[in-house]
């Protein structure tokens, strides 16, 4: 069985960016979790691991190493475990396979270690830039959180015409991103309505 494993970081992301992959797989799995969550603790990964342990999987395709995780140690441990199981891991963005035609790729270990480290560094850089931006904002008189006196009751929020439009769209089965475009609001607002309205 050839499995495609995808991961996005937030529930609001749909995974539509993976549609450029026109390959046909026996099974496609999508986890909506942070890359910091260990691979073996993710809901869809757990299903995948079970299939591997049952001997049903031969190949796993991911878009890039960061889909397996943003922690170098966890990614390397995951790749080592997959190698022990005889799984061929295919990474699309670099065109690399761990076991093409069942034969170990001599470059795999080196490239996978380097790439995993780069993705972890990228995550650390994002965190650092975010923290610096927040600090600069606060130093220039900015305030985090809602302005004082702007807390809105749940009833007031639900009575808004925008909230009602969002609710109708969600009841029709539109995705969070689709509702956001139709109503002209952020995906955060759509998610707030989704969690507040009694569907």
- pLDDT per residue over 25-42, tens digit each? 999 999 988 877 889 999
pTM value? 0.56
- Are the beta carbons of 193 and 170 closer than 8 angstroms? yes
Place of tokens 């979790």: 33
Whether residue 25 sits in one domain with residue 88: yes
Whether residue 103 sits in one domain with residue 28: yes
Residue 185 lies in a domain: yes
Write down the pLDDT at residue 29.
Answer: 93
In this structure, what DSSP letter does residue 106 have? T
Q: What is the mean pLDDT of residues 97-123?
A: 79
More confident residue, 23 or 62: 62
Measured CA to CA in angstroms, residue 96 lies from 26, 34, 49 at distances of: 20, 24, 22
Residue 135 lies in a domain: no
Residue 145 lies in a domain: no
**Domains in the chain, number:** 2
pLDDT per residue as tens digits for the range 112-165: 777 666 656 666 766 678 888 878 877 888 777 665 555 666 777 777 888 888
Q: Is 186 helix (H, G, I), strand (E, B) or coil?
A: coil
Whether residue 88 sits in one domain with residue 38: yes
Contacts of 117 (CB under 8 A, 6+ apart): 72
Residue 142 lies in a domain: no
Q: Which one of 67, 98, 118 terminates a domain?
A: 118
Distance CA(197)–CA(89), nearest Å, equals 42
The rounded mean pLDDT for the chain is 82
Residue 63 lies in a domain: yes
Whether residue 67 sits in one domain with residue 11: yes
Q: Could you give the residue ranges of the DSSP H alpha helices within 1-68? A: 43-53
Structure tokens at 84: 């022990």
Distance CA(189)–CA(82), nearest Å, equals 40
Residue 149 lies in a domain: no
Write down the pLDDT at residue 5.
Answer: 94
Domain range enclosing 158: 154-196
Q: Is 49 left (phi over 0), alpha (psi -120 to 50) or beta?
A: alpha
Whether residue 159 sits in one domain with residue 111: no
Whether residue 94 sits in one domain with residue 14: yes
Write down the pLDDT at residue 197.
Answer: 64
Measured CA to CA in angstroms, residue 77 lies from 70, 82, 90, 151, 178 at distances of: 12, 9, 16, 46, 38
CB atoms within 10 A of CB 181: 13
Whether residue 164 sits in one domain with residue 97: no
Question: Shortest CA distance to 66 belongs to which of 49, 79, 48, 85?
Answer: 79
Whether residue 111 sits in one domain with residue 15: yes
> In which band, very low, low, confident or very high, does the pLDDT at 177 lie, cut at 50, 70 and 90?
confident
The enclosing domain of 99 has a CATH number of: 3.40.50.1390
Structure tokens at 97: 């396979």
Residue 70 lies in a domain: yes
Structure tokens at 21: 């992959």
More confident residue, 44 or 159: 44
User: What's the CA angle centered on 14, arms 133 and 91, to 5 degrees?
Assistant: 85
């Amino acid at each position: 069985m050839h499995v495609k494993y995808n991961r996005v970081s937030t529930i609001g992301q749909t995974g539509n960016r993976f549609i450029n992959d026109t390959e046909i797989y026996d099974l496609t799995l999508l986890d909506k979790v942070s890359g910091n969550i260990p691979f073996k603790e993710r809901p869809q990964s757990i299903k995948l691991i079970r299939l591997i342990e049952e001997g049903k999987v031969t190949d796993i395709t991911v878009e890039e190493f960061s889909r397996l995780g943003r922690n170098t140690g966890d990614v390397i441990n995951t790749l080592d475990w997959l190698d022990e199981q005889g799984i061929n891991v295919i990474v699309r963005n670099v065109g690399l396979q761990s076991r093409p035609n069942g034969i170990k790729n001599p470059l795999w270990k080196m490239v996978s270690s380097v790439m995993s480290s780069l993705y972890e560094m990228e995550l650390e850089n994002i965190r650092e830039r975010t923290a610096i931006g927040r600090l600069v904002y606060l130093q220039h008189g900015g305030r985090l959180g809602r302005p004082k006196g702007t807390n809105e009751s749940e009833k007031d929020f639900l009575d808004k015409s925008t909230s009602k439009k969002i609710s109708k769209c969600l009841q029709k089965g539109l995705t969070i991103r689709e509702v956001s475009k139709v109503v002209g609001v952020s995906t955060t607002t759509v998610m707030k309505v989704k969690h507040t309205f009694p569907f």
